[in-house]
Chain A
């Protein structure tokens, strides 16, 4: 939010958002699993113009070998934005933001993966943001969770994520880049909906305690819907073959 003063109006007279959505409406979401041949599991997830590719390898042998844990598999996670995924070119060198988000995303997935089944091994998760338009980390978590399922790695539940925000005083679901840039707050959330467990929660912005509660509730409802889409796409992969 600079002093440039070009902030667009984010909510119009009829309560619609800058891209025409209602406050509690998700962007059009597309998901596909098994999009890469070599990876053990993969997924491509699109939330509007935010496109994220996730690939999973493992459980596999750890390299170097000493970087293992005796009681569980180690998860290695990298979140990255491709250099041309943003308006200004993103330097391919890892930014501090990417370092933090790699950790936050790993910690969003750790509670879901049954790592204790595979001691002394490694599970690698690579998340590549192909096109960034807000909500890349939550799309990344959603895609990574699908890729883990596609790799056949046992999980307590799927993890789905979405960001809510406050724009022009209104709490809205699944904010896009413009709402993120000019809005008052951005709150990414990820959860295992079947178990009611929140695994990622960040707030970037200022909210009253009541606004926070409203936002969290809205996020959890959105996550429910995304979760149903995840399950559907995982089933679809096999339905397609059946029809052949």
Chain B
């Protein structure tokens, strides 16, 4: 009935007909049905899973902006202060909104100057609480671990490469953290926060993350990253410093 025209993990581009047939489950919106065909709409990696005689076809984009979804963890930068809220740059096409009542966790007096809590340029770790297209994405920090970030290094990668940095069942992130000894928080918006024991390990972690970003579309990446970090540690005379 159904035919898959590309192998699992193939690179596809817009206009590629990736499958034909009816017994297919699609991961929208990056795949579209045109008649009996399934067409890719972005440059990405095709994922094909087969279960019970039915294919599940997905497409992981390799490029593209960050577009918020409720539940996403994002690292934001305060860009404007309003009377009752902050406007947060979350690298999305629409600005994040953080209400003062959410951040303070209590009622506040509108006469208060919000900049004494969060000022322009401050970094926050937040969650997307609501985003329904009609309004700008609403952020919350009312969960453990969220809030103002006061220490660490911040780097940016393409948001489309975030799933690779985290890896399947967080495998890649575990390798990164174990091998470098850094504490790493990955925002869905492609901002990554690093808290490392020393500058050498931080440098290695940054190089490793950039390597993942560059090679996101390749296979066997987790192993290569592990080897890369060990190589770097030997080179820098750190060997034996973390878990190995």
Direct contact of A and B (CB under 8 A): yes
Contacts of A195 in B (CB 8 A): 34
Question: Which residue of B has the minimal Cβ distance to A34?
Answer: B63
Partner of B93, one of A118, A149, A156, A239: A118
Contacts of B39 in A (CB 8 A): 156-157, 194
Separation of A158 and B41 alpha carbons in the complex (Å): 9
- Asked whether A241 and B215 contact (CB < 8 A) given A61-B95, A155-B14, A194-B15, the answer is yes
Stretch at the interface among A44-52, A86-94, A135-143, A230-238: A230-238
Q: Is A126 an interface residue (CB 8 A)?
A: no
Q: Are A242 and B14 in contact (CB under 8 A)?
A: no
Contacts of A155 in B (CB 8 A): 14-15, 41-42
Q: Is A18 an interface residue (CB 8 A)?
A: no
- Asked whether A227 and B93 contact (CB < 8 A) given A119-B133, A150-B43, A238-B62, the answer is no
Beta-carbon contacts under 8 Å, B64-123 to A: 64-65, 67, 93-95
Q: Is B148 an interface residue (CB 8 A)?
A: no
Contacts of A70 in B (CB 8 A): 134
Mask of A49-71 contacts with B, CB within 8 angstroms, 1/0: 00000000011110000000010
Q: Is A29 an interface residue (CB 8 A)?
A: no
Separation of A198 and B13 alpha carbons in the complex (Å): 20
Q: Is A201 an interface residue (CB 8 A)?
A: no
Q: Is A165 an interface residue (CB 8 A)?
A: no
Contacts of B4 in A (CB 8 A): none
Contacts of B13 in A (CB 8 A): 149, 158, 231, 234-235
Separation of A194 and B215 alpha carbons in the complex (Å): 29
Q: Is A154 an interface residue (CB 8 A)?
A: yes
From DSSP, what is the main secondary structure of chain A's interface residues?
mixed
Q: Is B11 an interface residue (CB 8 A)?
A: yes
Measured CB to CB, the closest approach of chain A to B188, in angstroms, equals: 15
Measured CB to CB, the closest approach of chain A to B73, in angstroms, equals: 21
Q: Is B217 an interface residue (CB 8 A)?
A: yes
Beta-carbon contacts under 8 Å, B29-46 to A: 29-30, 32, 34, 39, 41-43
Q: By the criterion of a CB under 8 Å from any partner CB, how many residues of chain B are at the interface?
A: 30
Contacts of B11 in A (CB 8 A): 235, 238-239
Q: Is A127 an interface residue (CB 8 A)?
A: no
Contacts of B94 in A (CB 8 A): 61, 120-121
Size bin of chain A's contact surface: 35 or more
Contacts of B17 in A (CB 8 A): 194
Separation of A19 and B52 alpha carbons in the complex (Å): 59
Mask of B182-222 contacts with A, CB within 8 angstroms, 1/0: 00000000000000000000000000000000110110000
- Asked whether A60 and B42 contact (CB < 8 A) given A238-B11, A241-B214, A242-B217, the answer is no
Q: Is B61 an interface residue (CB 8 A)?
A: yes
Q: Are A152 and B29 in contact (CB under 8 A)?
A: no
Contacts of B214 in A (CB 8 A): 241
Q: Is B180 an interface residue (CB 8 A)?
A: no
Separation of A158 and B95 alpha carbons in the complex (Å): 30
Q: Is B140 an interface residue (CB 8 A)?
A: no
Identify 19 new A-B residue pairs, CB closer than 8 A, beyond the known A155-B15, A156-B41, A157-B39. Answer: A40-B63, A60-B93, A61-B94, A61-B95, A70-B134, A117-B29, A120-B94, A121-B93, A149-B42, A150-B43, A155-B42, A156-B14, A156-B39, A192-B15, A193-B15, A235-B11, A238-B43, A241-B218, A242-B217
List residues of A whose CB falls within 8 A of some B CB. 40-41, 58-61, 70, 73, 114, 117-122, 149-158, 192-195, 227, 231, 234-235, 238-239, 241-242
26 inter-chain pairs at a CB distance below 8 angstroms, sorted by A residue, are A59-B65, A60-B93, A118-B93, A120-B93, A120-B94, A149-B14, A149-B42, A150-B63, A151-B65, A152-B42, A152-B63, A154-B14, A155-B14, A155-B15, A155-B42, A192-B15, A193-B15, A194-B15, A194-B17, A195-B34, A234-B43, A235-B13, A238-B43, A238-B217, A241-B215, A241-B217
